[in-house]
Chain A
Amino acid sequence: MVNGKKLVVSASPHLRTKTTTTKIMLDVIIALIPALVASVIFFGPKTLLVTAVTVATAVLSEYIARKVMKRHNTIGDLSAVVTGLILALNLPVNVPLWIAAIGSVVAIIVVKQFFGGIGQNFANPAITARIVLLLSFATHMSGSEWVAPLSWLGKADAVTTATPLALYGKEGAVIPTLFDMFIGNRAGSLGETCTVALLIGGIYLIARKVISFKIPVAYLGSFALIMLIAGFVKEDSVGAALEYTAYQLMSGGLMLGAFFMATDYSTSPINTDGKYIFGVGCGIITALIRLFGSLPEGVSFAILIMNLLVPHIEKITTPKPFGTPKKEKKAKEADAK
């Protein structure tokens, strides 16, 4: 009974979902709030300033780009806010604010709007922006610039330290305990340190069906498996290998990347098989960069490389519609022609 009429004849679709882009993006923002709160606790109120700059610049860039290109405005779908937020969580706390702003401009204008806006970008804007910043301003983005957690409470302006990934395996280095790693009491980018907050956010997104569990599980699973083997080769005992794997899983930007960046709709495959291939690929590349690469961290590069492979993954995982002839038959028919 629609509008009091018994029979309504209309063209499909008949079933409509109430989900909109704005609602999905709002869910992602909600899921990122625990990580943001944790980073304010560990790295101080400057976190909020960095976040405000990236989000404001991202929204402004989106508005200006759409206006200049004479397209309808899309700042209402909140995707620019999410990009700005994720980018902020990828930056160190003492990053100069103008660098954070450049990151947002690169993410929104170069990576997203030049390719047609939301849904059209071939690579994750926040990841690409992070890599551009890393290659452009190496001293500000990594190296000895990491601020020790909770140092904002003390008298000194900032105490710098190295990240656990850079410390691990060095003689005499004091690395955080596994518990510290879990709650986020370690050096690193703003949003990547607190494993528990990221897990809460990730599980919220999976429970709300915003993201599927397939990519994070394939990513983390394949990564853990390789690290377990590597740990066993290195330490020669199962216990030490497990500890090594746990450290590796909770360090760097792995959790943030696996739940929030690898699962980006427009830059990850649609099919189940494709999602598993994508996740496993990310896991393998991350592990290879961490084990053999010259950089300590490889999550962003792994996700970017797999982003570029997505069209090919889609091609090989396209399901065959029921009843269509087999491939060889098609080729033979073409030959006969």
Chain B
Amino acid sequence: MAEKKSLGKEFRKGLIAENPVLRLVLGTCPTLATSTSVANALGMGIAATLVLICSNIVISLLRKVIPSKVRIPAYIVIIASFVTIVQMIVKAFVPALDESLGVFLPLIVVNCIILGRAEAFAGKNPVIASAVDGLGMGVGFTMALCCMGAVREILGAGTFLAGIKDLLAVFGDFSFNGFTIIPEGGAISPMLIFILAPGGFFTFGILMACANKLAEKKGKPRAELGGCQACPMAKNCALLADGKDCSEEKEDKAV
């Protein structure tokens, strides 16, 4: 059981200290795939946040009904229902976003962040706290995606917020469609590699280091390889509560 905290704290932990992408390293696949532009990142982030809040609320409501042996399938069914709803909404109102996100929109079903929050938080905590936790994690996810999207789009395509028109189409017809930072055919051309997968990994790693530094400044443990105490999830870990270490467990298996 997580200790009692104020709702403000539940919200804020998702931003930096337990940022799902940069600190817990969850949901890496959609992060790398959809952060090629800020518009895509924003769309993906909002869609995932909606699913996360709704599934957290429902799972928290049902936490005493769902038998723990079949909790994962039950969570997946709940999450999948909300993903279907979100996908239908996106298809109806922002078809361009549906096209550019492609398979990654339905793949929110298996997004580690959402299942991770269901397992680590919503399954053990009351409804309001779970909803706030979902909102914080969702905003953290969206922030991380947008940071990566901004770096990759500016360096790799020479634009900023390109394609935002399709996203704004929900609110009406806007003529604004982003800035061009590196004009085409000029003396300088953008570094294509940042749009490709390797550039995504570069950006990911560098942002992770920055988030680590920020969290360290606030007195949080650094996320390091090995060493369970340093894990940002340490206080939710069942193994640690029993006085064990997951590295010990691995060693046992290796022998």
Contacts and interface: CB of A to CB of B under 8 A. Distances in A.
Interface of A: 96, 98, 102, 110, 114, 132, 135-138, 140, 334
B92 interface: no
Nearest to A132: B193
Nearest to B156: A136
Contacts of B191: 102, 132, 136-137
A135 B202 contact: no
Contacts of A140: 189
B198 interface: yes
Interface residues of B, number: 15
21 contacts: A96-B187, A98-B187, A98-B188, A102-B191, A110-B202, A114-B205, A114-B206, A114-B209, A132-B191, A132-B193, A135-B192, A135-B196, A135-B198, A136-B190, A136-B191, A136-B192, A136-B193, A136-B194, A137-B192, A140-B189, A334-B255
Contacts of A135: 192-193, 196, 198
Nearest to B209: A114
A98 B188 CA distance: 8
B209 to A, nearest CB: 8
Interface string B225-255: 0000000000000000000000000000001
A96 B187 CA distance: 9
Given A114-B205, A114-B209, A135-B196, 8 more contacts: A98-B187, A102-B191, A110-B202, A135-B193, A135-B198, A136-B192, A137-B192, A334-B255
A102 B194 CA distance: 13
A138 B194 CA distance: 14
B200 to A, nearest CB: 12
Interface in B172-192: 187-192
Contact of A138 (B187, B192, B198, B209): B192
Contacts of A102: 191
B201 to A, nearest CB: 11
Contacts of B209: 114
> Which of A135, A138, A140, A334 is packed against the most chain B CB atoms within 10 Å?
A135
Contacts of A98: 187-188
Contacts of A137: 189, 191-192
A245 to B, nearest CB: 33
Q: 8 tightest CB-CB pairs across the interface, nearest first?
A: A136-B191, A136-B193, A135-B193, A136-B192, A334-B255, A132-B193, A135-B196, A135-B192
A121 to B, nearest CB: 14
Nearest to B190: A136
Nearest to B255: A334
A132 B187 CA distance: 19
> Which of B192, B193, B209, B255 is packed against the most chain A CB atoms within 10 Å?
B193
A146 to B, nearest CB: 19
Contacts of B193: 132, 135-136
Contacts of A132: 191, 193, 198
A157 B202 CA distance: 38
Nearest to A140: B189
A135 B196 CA distance: 9
A178 B188 CA distance: 38
Nearest to B155: A136
B131 to A, nearest CB: 39
A80 to B, nearest CB: 20
Nearest to A128: B198
B167 to A, nearest CB: 28
Contacts of A136: 190-194
Contacts of A114: 205-206, 209
A110 B205 CA distance: 10
A337 to B, nearest CB: 8
Contacts of A96: 187
Interface string B70-108: 000000000000000000000000000000000000000
Nearest to A331: B255
Interface in B185-227: 187-194, 196, 198, 202, 205-206, 209
